[in-house]
Amino acid sequence: MGHFGSLAAFLTIQQAPLPIQEKYLPMIRQATLQGDLSPMGYVYMQDNLLVLINKPQMFGTQIRLNTTTKKKEVAPIDDEAHVDERRAEFGLGPLADYLKRLDVNYKPSVK
């Protein structure tokens, strides 16, 4: 399919209804691990799906507005102590660096 074909398929799936995204997410993961898609696309889609179904995200890509403080914050992260290890698996830098670029004040809930 090539890089652009893979990207087009990914973008189509990313905009599809939730059941379609869930169905194709494993294939997107595989394409990412094979180097056919950007790691950020996969981890963003994975996290977005989890947040949409009210589960903690895995990579820390999903930011939300705290309605009380009116400040940006990270949506809950599953096994936060190991988030940077999961990010590294896909060639991404530490969560704190990513959030700093987004101007999100981040304080890990685990030490």
pLDDT digit string, tens, across residues 46-92: 999 999 999 999 999 999 999 999 999 999 999 999 999 999 999 89
| pLDDT, tens digit (0-9, with 9 covering 90-100), for 79-96 | 999 999 999 999 899 999
Residue 40's identity, in one-letter code, is M
Chain mean pLDDT for the chain: 87
* Predicted local confidence at residue 41, as pLDDT: 84
Its pTM stands at: 0.83
Residues written for the chain: 111
> Strands 72-74 and 63-65, how do they pair?
antiparallel
Question: Hey, how many other C-beta atoms are within 10 angstroms of the C-beta on 68?
Answer: 6
